[in-house]
Structure 1
Amino acid sequence: MSAASAPAASLRPALPGDTPILAAIAAAAIFELTGEDYDHDQQEAWASTAGDEETLAERLADSLTLVATRDSEPVGFIALADNKRIDFLYVHPEVAGEGIGALLCDAIEKLAAARGAKSLSVDASDTGLGFFQKRGYVPKQRNTVPRGGVWLGNTTMEKSLVAEGTIH
């Protein structure tokens, strides 16, 4: 489906009953979109963490979580933790490249700024690094994270939400 013919996506707050579908979206994104950057063992370890529905539900409940839907079906989600860090951003592979991630990021950046955040950080996967760089996030630090007996690389990035020249 091309972005031009795709139905418009809408955003809504996450609901407690969304956890299974959001875990499935995360797993699909990990397995289908990260193969160029992570090997199978890394994908398995990452997906087992993201797919732990009980832990995912707790983290989403402690965050401002938005769900992108198309035809009322969830196709992606983003979670903002402590009004300063993007904790999750996953888009279903079937809609990857259609602007869903940008729609989610735009909304969460606006909400964080409206709540007084001066900047946002994210621990971006190697797959997501270019996406965040295009949005103005600047790499700050390279990380290696243990997951299920394997190591995953990611990069802590930060974006200022305050326009240059603005008086603080």
Structure 2
Amino acid sequence: MVILRAARDDDTPQLTEVRTSTLRERASGSYSESELAAIAPKNPDPDRGSGTIQNESFDVIVAQDDGILGFGVVHPSDCQIHGLYVKPEATGEGVGTALLEELEQRCRETGSESLFALATLNAAPFYLKRGYEKISERTISEEPEIPVIHVEKSFAEE
């Protein structure tokens, strides 16, 4: 049974591995190797996300069963999703949807009327199927530029 919980500092290496393996496997058809290297280096620093977990302005939520299946990060003050990753082998089992619903609920609790993400090209369909609207195509980073899709969900329409 999948449970959702707040991330802990000792989760950082596993979260880094989930993020890297997800991007490397799921985004490889959408990005060049140089783009992938920029967003998901093959040998990432295992403590890469520790600052986000420790930063109280971010909510980092973990989906766990026998181990970590995925995680999501939201900044409730501006209701931006900063990442949502599910292990490739857990894709299609509802883990991503459960995480997304939790991130959305945390933003609703702030009184926000909407939530947005800068989704990777491969992740945009996931958001669109769950009521998000495509706002624009844009790039993040400078070298190399990484194409993303700005998606947004209005809570007022629910």
Common fold by TM > 0.5: yes
Aligned to 2:35: 42
3-state DSSP of counterpart to 2:70: strand
Q: Structure 1, unaligned stretches of length 5 or more?
A: 1-7
2:79 pairs with 1:75: no
- The structure with more radius of gyration: 1
Maintained 8 Å contact 1:26/1:50? no
Aligned to 1:151: 145
Instruction: After TM superposition, give the deviation of residue 87 of structure 1 in Å.
Output: 0.6
Q: Tell me: CA distance 1:49–1:66, structure 2 relative to 1, closer, same or farther (3 Å).
A: farther
The 1-side partners of 2:156 and 2:54 are apart by: 27
Matched to 1:104, the amino acid is L
Matched to 1:155, the amino acid is I
Q: Runs ≥4 in structure 1, deviation > 6 angstroms?
A: none
Maintained 8 Å contact 2:16/2:48? no
Question: Taking structure 2 as the reference length, what is the TM-score of the superposition?
Answer: 0.89
Instruction: After TM superposition, give the deviation of residue 111 of structure 1 in Å.
Output: 2.0
Q: Tell me: CA distance 1:113–1:155, structure 2 relative to 1, closer, same or farther (3 Å).
A: same
The 1-side partners of 2:28 and 2:74 are apart by: 26
Matched to 2:60, the amino acid is T
Instruction: After TM superposition, give the deviation of residue 52 of structure 1 in Å.
Output: 4.2
Maintained 8 Å contact 2:12/2:48? no
Aligned to 1:21: 14
The 1-side partners of 2:121 and 2:146 are apart by: 9
Aligned to 1:115: 110
Maintained 8 Å contact 1:50/1:56? no
Instruction: After TM superposition, give the deviation of residue 152 of structure 1 in Å.
Output: 1.1
Question: Taking structure 1 as the reference length, what is the TM-score of the superposition?
Answer: 0.84
Instruction: After TM superposition, give the deviation of residue 61 of structure 1 in Å.
Output: 2.8
2:154 pairs with 1:160: yes
Matched to 2:52, the amino acid is R
Coordinate RMSD, CA, aligned: 2.0
Instruction: After TM superposition, give the deviation of residue 146 of structure 1 in Å.
Output: 2.5
The 1-side partners of 2:126 and 2:154 are apart by: 16
